[in-house]
Amino acid sequence: MTIPKRTGIAAAGNWIIDHVKILDTYPRQDTLANILEMRSGNGGAAYNVLKDLAKLGAQFPLEALGLIGDDAEGRKILEDCKAHSIWTTQLKVTDKAPTSFTDVMTVKGTGRRTFFHHRGTNALFDIDSVNLDALNARIFHLGYLLLLDQFDKPSEQFGTKAAELLARAKRLGMKTSIDVVSEDSRRFADIVSPALKYTDYCILNEFETERVTGIATREGSRISREGLQNAAADLLERGVSDSVIIHYPEGGYVRSTGGFEHFQPSLALPGQFIIGTAGAGDAFCAGALYGLHEGWSMGQMMELGVCAAASSLSHSTCSDGVCDMKTVLKLADQFGFRELPVSPSPAG
């Protein structure tokens, strides 16, 4: 009997509707700010990554895993997935909680945003909701750790339920990847560390990386080459079995178990190009996963990551700025790259 070759990306985790408000200023407590515009869009690691992959033009299967409410916003998510050819067999519906949502307050002049989040159905999504045996995906992506209550719970054998799920996926022959929410807490080591030994691709931003490892990734306001290298090495030593990919506003850095590394600067975007920063990290993640799935070089993968992130910045919602890969990559020709904020390192 011939075993079918694995293909595609399955993403499990947060499914959120973002309600974006564009403000003239972010107010101090007890003061007023004006809402200039209002929009709604997709949010959450699984939702954003799969929709971005679809918009980039992925020719491989995309499959959704998660839990949404039996309500208008849940139906909106299902319709959006159908429109983008995302399979929803394992995107389940419940009447026990509303679909998760976030109020995103974005300041027009800076693109800076503040999130007010309701966990909703995401708090109920658990390991029993996932049928890994039914997946033929090449990559299984899970996010966000620290924002999935049932998966952040302890597991006697694996440390956390997230780690248990990732271990199962690896046993079935899938490559695994994780993403983390930028929570301001001390939970990172306890929640994220157990998952690392069952993770092939660890995709974090510099803040999350620092919180997990305890290694500073910046020297003042400047990204630290040595800090990134030491933090990535630490994550690999803790069990990440293929690559650590760290993204930050100035670009991205990847280091593999083979010792290869690559620093990639971000695009030199003019200030007026940036409308909102929500979703930029997930767009980077989608670009990286696209390259990993297709077996691209580190340099190609990271260039698509920063270009996808740049395209996301052109809109206040997470994915409306993302378009087909050819157009996204043309942004590099249009704007060029920033001066490398750290000294160059040999590419893999």
Tens of pLDDT, residues 267-288: 999 988 988 888 999 999 999 9
> How many CB atoms within 10 Å of residue 79?
10
Q: Is residue 240 part of a domain?
A: yes
CA distance 132 to 106: 37
Q: Would 346 be classed as within a structural domain?
A: no
Which segments of the chain does DSSP mark as H helices, in order? 45-56, 72-83, 161-171, 188-196, 206-213, 225-237, 280-294, 298-312, 325-335
In a domain, 126, yes or no: yes
Other residues' Cβ atoms within 10 Å of the Cβ of residue 35 = 10
pLDDT at residue 54 in the model: 98
Give residues with Cβ within 8 angstroms of 149, minimum separation 6.
119, 122, 123, 124
Q: Which pair of tokens denotes residue 146? A: 């620290």
Q: CA 272 from chain center: how many Å? A: 25
Q: What's the confidence (pLDDT) of residue 2? A: 54
Hey, is 248 helix, strand or coil?
strand
36 backbone dihedrals φ, ψ, rounded to 5°: -90, -35
- Give residue 343's pLDDT: 45
pLDDT for the residue 106: 87
Residue segments in the chain with a per-residue pLDDT below the cut of 70 = 1-3, 341-348
Query: 23 lies in a domain?
Result: no
Look at residue 254 and tell me if it is in a domain.
yes
Task: Select from 165, 174, 171 the least CA-distant residue to 194.
Answer: 165
Q: Are 282 and 18 spatial neighbours (Cβ–Cβ below 8 Å)?
A: no
What letter would DSSP give residue 32? -
Distances (CA, A) of 136 to 77, 132, 164: 23, 9, 19
Residue-number span of the structural domain to which 296 is assigned: 9-16+42-102+117-335
3-state SS, one letter per residue, for 210-232: HHHHCCCCEECCEECHHHHHHHH
Per the structure, how many domains does the chain have? 1
pLDDT at 347: 43
Question: Is 180 a domain residue?
Answer: yes
Query: Does 228 fall in a domain?
Result: yes
**What is the pairing mode between strands 35-43 and 62-69?**
unpaired
- Domain with residue 162: its CATH number is 3.40.1190.20
pLDDT at position 147: 95
Is there a domain that residue 175 lies in? yes
| pTM (2 d.p.) | 0.93
